[in-house]
Amino acid sequence: MDQSVTPPGSNALEAGFRRMVALSRQQPSPTLDERRDRLARLGAMLAANEARFQEAISADFGHRAAIETTMAETLLVQGEIKHARKHLKSWMASQRVATQAQFWPAKNRLLPQPIGVVGIIAPWNYPLQLTLAPTVAAIAAGNSVMIKPSELVPRFSALLKQVIADTFDETDVTVTGIDGNIAEIFAALPFDHLMFTGSTRVGRLVAEAAGRNLTPITLELGGKSPAIIDASANLDQASERIAYGKLLNAGQTCIAPDYALVAKESAENFAGKVAANMRRMYGTSPGNPDYTSIVSGQHYARLEGLVSDAAAKGARVIQSAAADDPAWQTVRKFPPTVILGATPEMKVMQEEIFGPILPVVDCAGTKEAIAFINERDRPLALYWFGADDAARDEVLTRTVSGGVTVNDCLFHFTQINQPMGGVGASGIGAYHGEWGFRTFSKLKPVFYRSPLNRFADLYPPYGAKMARMEKLLRFLS
């Protein structure tokens, strides 16, 4: 690369990466106690700086309620740390694997090993949780970790860099890339594993960069996650839960319900109930302290464009205030919005919304809902509301998505014993709990031959002995 156009900090980034790699090769497998100690230090660092993280994230967004950061970020990471420390001994243990009869009394084992240096490219929407949860998994697996936070949350990123440096040796865990736009250089480093959380568009670029080094990747992306409102659903319950799932963090959530598929005869009633629940939860004033700001003016303008396009193409827009109201624009709080009569031709149905806008799409029934979903990229999440078990199971069987919550939103993400991950355009790979430990480990198969077994002595010259052995092999196979 031409040094005259090398982004600031790239040389330091590459030098730090080389130091990490060198140490990981010299000391490839931290002990159980060393890993538990690192996890404990991470937990203590988080607890000691919780209020500072809340303030930094709120300042980066323009405003976010501290309780949202606590519930959606801090507690989830602390839960991951506690769970990992409790179960780490059993995760690290070698696993018995059955041995074919002809090799008895030999044995097979799967040996979990650290893969080395893990790179994490984190997003801005939940900067604490989506940075540190995969870090917990990578540390538990015994790896060194290099973190690239998002440039859209500079206060948070600077604070994280500081407290991580105060807590860990730079060859164990380090935060980098906050002083320059060097994500492309970061993704091109030959990590032993690279994890990216963000948009599908950028995920493709990350995968391309990683592919040049044959770097294994985990991609946690997004997409348009549907909510199906079955004819058997309780509309009061479904509308309340969808309103909350859509407006948490002002809709800036990768697994937020992106749009709702509702029977035509119920669509207007449902839309009205969702709008009423939005008003009840967050009021009608931009000064509501529970409601989160949109992260940047550019994102706010993009959301305005989606609503304007839908209105121009015939949709009915239900808002408590106009998005161009200066009172809302000044604090970058986008009015909660329901779009009734959304159609595939509208931009709001063609890209991930990532904001507090819920399109309601008319749907004739379960089969049409399934067909609508299957005509599009596979979503990161799917939500189904209703009491008809047969209709529910038909949806679960005939659609493919990263995860599902039935009769609610978001909560499959919080299940620490379940994997979190997308499929197709919504992601590759998974993490959470033991799934994260396995993602960042190499499960190495080891065969221990027994001196009591001569079956493997299949050496030439072959002759009649080998012919008899072949018959036995055919019988045992």
E strands present in 62-106: 95-97
E strands present in 308-458: 316-319, 337-340, 357-362, 381-385, 403-406, 427-428, 441-448
Give me the phi and psi of 353, to 5 degrees please. Answer: -75, -50
**Cα dihedral 178, 183, 186, 192 sign:** positive
434 annotated active-site? no
For residue 381, which of 427, 345, 337 has the smallest C-alpha distance?
A: 427
Task: Give the integer Cα–Cα distance in Å for 112 and 194.
Answer: 18
Check 73, 240, 254, 352 and give the catalytic one.
254
Task: Give the integer Cα–Cα distance in Å for 8 and 15.
Answer: 13
Task: Give the integer Cα–Cα distance in Å for 350 and 296.
Answer: 21
- With vertex at residue 135, the alpha carbon angle to CA 130 and CA 140, rounded to the nearest 5 degrees, is 140
Q: What DSSP state is assigned to residue 117?
A: E
Name beta bridge partners: 120: 147, 195
Helix pair angle (129-140, 32-48), 10° resolution: 160
Query: How many Cβ atoms from other residues are within 10 Å of residue 261's Cβ?
Result: 25
What residues have CB less than 8 Å from 163, skipping those under 6 apart? 45, 49
Check 80, 220, 352, 434 and give the catalytic one.
220
254 annotated active-site? yes
- With vertex at residue 20, the alpha carbon angle to CA 17 and CA 23, rounded to the nearest 5 degrees, is 150
Which residues are tagged catalytic?
220, 254
